[in-house]
Amino acid sequence: MAISRAQLLKELLPGLNALFGLEYARYDAEHSEIYETESSDRSFEEEVKLSGFDAAPVKDEGSAISYDAAQESFTARYNHETIAMGFAITEEAMEDNLYDSLSARYTKALARAMAHTKQVKSVVPLNNGFTTAYSSGDGVALFSTSHPLVSGGTNSNTQATAADLNETSLEAAVIQIGKWTDERGLLIAARPQTLVIPPDLQFVAQRVMKSELRPSTADNDINAVRSMGVVPGGTVVNHYLTDTDAWFLLTDIPNGMKHFNRVALETSMDGDFDTGNVRYKARERYSFGVSDPLGIWGSPGA
């Protein structure tokens, strides 16, 4: 349905002082703080996690050397979605509007709608990752205490008992990350980089991360989180997270959170000869996901 004069009655008459409601600022590109962005030229992308070798054994004198075999572990798949929206304006509405260019006004509104959708989709893995509503390539929830390993063991990138963000829970998460192993059970040097939180936790995070002394205690001890710099990337607030007490740690594990850009945002317009209506369209294709679940650690809060 086209935007007609029926939706713009006040704009057809003189006397309006202002038109408002479309000029709000927006939280834009917050996904760039979480994801590594790559381009894609295919309908989907797949990334395979590999398993290396077990710990090297002792070779007895005169005995044969031991041989081990490497293999693929699991595959992460990214299916690109097409996001598109448009609007149409009647010829008469454009002719009779007294105040501004309808096309320029609503093209900005269209860009705002497209940007909002992108930010909402970017946090689907985080918002849904504590259940099988969003699983990683290894077949379990993105945030799980039992990510299976080729060796038969498991890694955990969440708490066994959910806890809110505080000094104790943050320190426990850092310790857990430091004990992760690869697919064959060999320790990996994983470290947290950035704390990602909803706006509801921004003041709690400031106290936990920036206090010189231990927060929320009467002890005269230093704040080890700050003095040791265990989260060097600091804190990032994401306004599209839906759980008010969930919190996340991005790690330095490569090939973790990935954003594939298949087709960048495109806009176009055309006119209909019979009706005189002008149509405007915006379209883009992308996907958000995770290859290695060890790229992120998460807690749903207590």
- Asked, for residue 18, whether it belongs to a domain, the answer is no
Query: What range defines the domain where residue 294 resides?
Result: 31-53+73-299
Judge contact between 260 and 81, C-beta under 8 A.
Answer: no
- Asked, for residue 258, whether it belongs to a domain, the answer is yes
Distance between CA atoms of residues 263 and 48, nearest Å:
23
Q: Read off the pTM.
A: 0.88
- Asked, for residue 1, whether it belongs to a domain, the answer is no
Helices (H), 149-220: 167-177, 202-210
Distance between CA atoms of residues 302 and 300, nearest Å:
7
- Asked, for residue 140, whether it belongs to a domain, the answer is yes
* H/E element, 219: none
CATH code for the domain of 141: 3.90.1690
- Asked, for residue 127, whether it belongs to a domain, the answer is yes
- Asked, for residue 285, whether it belongs to a domain, the answer is yes
- Asked, for residue 58, whether it belongs to a domain, the answer is no
- Asked, for residue 202, whether it belongs to a domain, the answer is yes
DSSP for 87-117, written as a single string: EEE-HHHHHH--SS-HHHHHHHHHHHHHHHH
Judge contact between 287 and 80, C-beta under 8 A.
Answer: yes
Q: How many domains does the chain contain in total?
A: 1
From first to last of its 302 residues, the chain has per-residue pLDDT tens of: 776 656 654 555 455 445 455 667 888 899 999 999 999 999 999 999 999 999 999 999 999 999 999 999 999 999 999 999 998 888 888 787 655 676 777 888 889 999 999 999 999 999 999 999 999 999 999 999 999 999 999 999 999 999 999 999 999 999 999 999 999 999 999 999 999 999 999 999 999 999 988 887 777 789 999 999 999 999 999 999 999 999 999 999 999 999 999 999 999 989 888 888 888 999 999 999 999 999 999 999 99
Nearest to 134 by CA among 77, 93, 71, 177: 77
Relative to beta strand 257-271, strand 36-39 is parallel
